[in-house]
Structure formats: structure tokens, C-alpha cells
Structure 1
Amino acid sequence: MVLLLLLYFAFGGWLYLQECAEQRRCREMAEASTFYRAVYSEIEEVGWEHLVRFGGDLTSLSFRILDGKGRMHIIEIQLDKTHPKCPPSISADVPYMFDLKWSTHSRLKDVVQQFKKHLEKLQAFWSTLDDIDRSLWVVDPKQASPAVSYRQINMGNDCFIMLSINAFDPRSLPECRFIGSGPIVNLLRNRWRRNSKRWIKDKQFLENLKCLLETQLPIPPDVQKNEQQVECGICYAQSLPIDEELRHKSGTGTDYTCDNTSCKRAFHSICLVDWLRSITTTRQSFDVLFGSCPYCSEPVAVKIDSMKK
């Protein structure tokens, strides 16, 4: 009899535990079903065309967003199972993230809208980097992510500068490191220190950079290849050396072209002046030298003081 009672109570306890487990599973399924329905509904609001990937349990979502300039960005959203009670975790390939504003009534579309506003704040930052990539000889990084805020630029003569752009204030004076050895590096470093107060936010970034370094900024090699006759017909160099004695001509490219359409040879005006002075047939009138083109013998005229500021 006692054994039967023990078996009865044991069986009853087992049934109770089974019932509790079943109730728990039902609650979890109901909660999961509610979670899935809510997330599906919120994805619909954002637009399925923007969804690029998602986890099997829908707690991990990635959306593709285009900014005002047509740049594509991916925002990763990690949802808690208690969504929307707990704010999601977010990440994106940007220089810094925004502070997400969230409440129990917030939805995925609110995250996307806040991200879009954040992207708009970064437009000036990315535009500055685009100008640098398009106009200067950038050697690192080759394929920069939107989060990278530095550029290493080849200035020639084994001299490099590392510019770090302030993502919060991209038009401000950037941090600059000079890489290399020798007099050219020291010369540019001294110019940067001497002229740093001349940086003006209202001016274009590249114009400011040229003003501080007092030299012609090197263009990308692929652009150089596409340009015709960029090398000087006398010294056969694209740019003059960086030298204090050359003043504002230091590091500049060719600035004089033969008018003969069948010649169109380019020269540094300084080189052409030196060459004309070596020719006995050259004439001078005031500050202008008159002579012949070294290549086609057509008349040329160049100012002697063109090298003086």
C-alpha cells in the first residue's frame, strides 16, 4: 500500500512538472511568435529592399542605406529578445557612432532615420577625403573604409605626410605627421609649423594645404599619365625641386607652354629663363626675355621676374 502511494505521488509530481514545462514552452512560443511578427512588421516599415542580411532568429539585421551623395552604408542592428523593451545594439563603418535615442515605443525605422541624420553630418568629412583621394597622390590606404580618417600622401623625394582629418570638424586644421628623412622633410615640417595659423576654415581644404606647405601638391600617378607634356622640356622633370630659394615656385609644375600648336611643349618658366639667357640671340626688353623655343624655334617671351613673388 505504501509503495502504491509513493508511486502515485511520484507520478503526480512528474505530471505536474510536465505540465509546467509545457506551459513554459507555450509561453516561449507565444513570445517568439509575437517577436517575429513585430520584427517582420518593422522590417516592412523600413523596406525589404534595404535589408541585406538577417539571422535565423531575426535578432541580427543589416540594412543598406544611401546617403545624400549616393554613398552606400550598412548598419548592423542586434535586437534583444525582449525587443522593443531593450534598445538594440548598433554598429556601422563610420568614424564615430551616434547616441541612439530609444523608448519602448521606438521601432526599427527610428534607428534608420537617426542613422540617416548621422550620415548627413558626416558629408563634409567624406567630401574632404574624396577631394584628397581624387586630387593628391595617396599611397595609404589604397581602399579606405568610410571609418578611416587619415591619408598618407607622397610628396616626392622620399617625403610623405600623414594627414588626420577631424570627423567632427573636417574643415579645421588637420593633424599632420611628416615621414621620411632629409632636408625636404625638415623644410616642409618647418613650413607647416610656421604657417599653421594661416589655415582658414572658409577656404578649400586643398587650397589651405598648398598655402601651408608653400609647394605644388602632387597629383595621382594615373592623372599624371593622362596629362600631355607635363614634364619640362628643359629639365625633364614634372615639378621643380622643393627649395626655399625658389620661393612660391618651389615644387611647382610647368607654367609656360609654347604657342605653336604643332609644338605645345611645356616648360618651367625658370628653366626657360635660364636657357634663354644662355643663348646669344636672346633679346631683353624691360623684364621680358625674347627668344626662340628650344624645340620648334618659334618666338617665345617670358618674364624674368616670373620666379619672384
Structure 2
Amino acid sequence: MDMYGSIYAEIEEVGWEHLLSLEDDLSSVSFRVLDEKGRVHILEISLPQTYPQCSPSIAADVPYICEFEWSKNSKLKDIVQRFDEHLKKLQEFWSTMDEIDRALLVVEPRQPSHATSHRQINLGNGCHLLLSINTRNPKSLPECRFLGPDSTIEPIWRNWKKNGRKWKKDKNFVDNLATLLEFTLPKPPTVNSKEVDRTDCGICYAHYLPIDDELGNSSGSSPDYTCENTNCSKTFHSICLRDWLRSITTTRQSFDVLFGNCPYCSDPVAVKTNIMEQ
């Protein structure tokens, strides 16, 4: 089997619905992988010219990459499976970061990635707390740095050092912080209910499409297609779903309708080809 046929066969084993991109020269392939909480992760696999005799390299938006053993019998599906196992080990870390983002007044980073392990928290009175979470042991006492006027920082820092032994791994992370600092931490501002209900497109990861004449009636629109699988219910811009379906070899077309599978749950989806004219 030639190189192209071999790679295509390996992608088939992983599942075409997970394929995100494949370079024309077969130098790299990217897969979309969902973890058990529904978070989307992009796994990029770089293939050497001597593949599969030589090991490929991988990259992903995670705090640290997983290691894998490569042999002459290894295939792409083995890497994807190893990466999926790696994601399971990181669930506690991401749950901790989600708890911080949800309960505290986070000022930086504004749009954290899955790899980001720090948060800058506004404590009030011009004082901020920079937390560095241990990615392998996220429930442990984090490293910290206080930012602000010395007169404000000094008593808070004293409390942190004095109460360090009170940190409990089986306790809520935010409650642990409040115990160490000896005051109630500011909460994030109340979010408009419409913003809470807002969902982003599962393909382009944006809520609104750009304002562009080339997009026709879809210009500036929000997601208008929802997967009918109630356990999935991912939303998409119809135009994004159309373009994605066109990139998948298993997609079928009947008249002006494309039939394929949801990128997340693989249940059937269908979208018209003439979306921009509607």
C-alpha cells in the first residue's frame, strides 16, 4: 500500500468525523478529540518522511504533553487513544480552573487556553493574587504572588503564611483560599442571563460570524443549527457545518442537501448547500 493509502486507512481507523485537517504532503494531520466533560481538544500529529518507521511528534493545547511508545506496528489510532487517556488525567486540573473562573474575579488571562495554569485574581483595594496551579496535583496548595501596595499586601501575605497548614486537598479550592486569606473573596460580576444562554459554534468556536459581504445572509449571524441528539445538543452556524461536511469524504449529497454526521456525537445531521442565498 502506498503512503497515501496507508495514512487514509489509519485515519479511517480513528474516524473521519474526528479529522480536522490533513496536509497535502502528509506532513501532518490534526484530530478533534473530546474529553469526558465535552471540552474540545485539537491533537496535531507531525509525520516524518520516514513514517511509520520513525516516530511522529505531537502537539496539543494541554499543560503538558503525554509520552507514548512507538514501534513498527504503531498507528495513528494508538496516539489518539494515548492522548485520550492523557486527557482523563487532566480532568481534575481543568475542573479546578473552571471552579476558579466561575467563583472568583479573574482579571487575567481574559481568554485562558486549556494549557494555561495560572490565574490573576482581583482581591479588592488594588490588590491582586497571582495563582500558579500544580497541573499534576491541582488540589494542592498553589504557588502565589501578591500584587499591589505594600500596605495592602503585607497583612494578606501574613495570613497566607500563617494559615498555610489549613489547606485541605479534599476541600473546595475557593473555600481553601478564603480560609488562608481570612476574608470573603470578591465574586465575578453578575452575567446577563442572555449571555449565560449564549452558545458558540462547535466548529468555529465563535458566537457571531464576521460581518462580510461574501457570507451573504449569514454575515454576522449566530449559531442556527443544533444537533438533535439531546445528549449532545451542540450548536453550529449552518455555513460552518456545511463547509465541515464538505471536507469529509463520507458526506453524501442529495439535491441541495448534505447528509453526514455530527462532529461531536456522530449522529446524523443535514444542511442545505445554498445557505448564503437564503
Amino acid at match of 2:29: L
Q: Quick check: 1:188–1:213 contact (8 Å CA) kept in 2?
A: yes
Residue 184 of structure 1: how far off its partner (Å):
2.3
Q: Structure 1 stretches (4+) deviating beyond 4 angstroms?
A: 223-226
Identity of aligned residues (%): 55
Residue 117 of structure 1: how far off its partner (Å):
0.4
What pairs up with 1:118-129 in 2 under 5 angstroms? 118-129=86-97
Instruction: Check if 1:37 corresponds to 2:5.
Output: yes
Aligned residue among 184, 193, 201 for 1:216: 184
Gap runs ≥5 in structure 1: 1-32, 227-309
* Larger helix percent: 1
Amino acid at match of 1:181: P
Amino acid at match of 1:64: R
Amino acid at match of 1:220: P
Aligned residue among 31, 40, 44 for 1:76: 44
Amino acid at match of 1:171: K
Alignment match, 1:130: 98
Residue 81 of structure 1: how far off its partner (Å):
2.1
Give the number of aligned pairs.
194
Q: CA separation in 2, counterparts of 1:217 and 1:223?
A: 18
Alignment match, 2:265: none
Residue 110 of structure 1: how far off its partner (Å):
0.2
Give the number of the structure with larger relative contact order, counting CA–CA contacts within 8 Å between residues 6 or more apart. Answer: 2
How large is the Cα RMSD of the aligned pairs?
1.6
Alignment match, 2:128: 160
Larger radius of gyration: 1
Instruction: Check if 1:201 corresponds to 2:169.
Output: yes
Residue 78 of structure 1: how far off its partner (Å):
0.5
Residue 207 of structure 1: how far off its partner (Å):
1.2
TM-score (norm 1): 0.61
Q: Quick check: 1:51–1:64 contact (8 Å CA) kept in 2?
A: yes
Q: Quick check: 1:35–1:81 contact (8 Å CA) kept in 2?
A: no
Residue 187 of structure 1: how far off its partner (Å):
1.1
Q: CA separation in 1, counterparts of 2:105 and 2:48?
A: 46
What pairs up with 1:31-110 in 2 under 5 angstroms? 34-110=2-78
Gap runs ≥5 in structure 2: 195-278
Instruction: Check if 1:150 corresponds to 2:118.
Output: yes
SS for the counterpart of 1:160 is strand
Q: CA separation in 2, counterparts of 1:225 and 1:52?
A: 33
Q: CA separation in 2, counterparts of 1:92 and 1:151?
A: 20
What pairs up with 1:164-179 in 2 under 5 angstroms? 164-179=132-147
Alignment match, 1:189: 157
Residue 224 of structure 1: how far off its partner (Å):
10
User: CA 1:223/1:136 → structure 2, altered by over 3 Å: closer, same or farther?
Assistant: farther
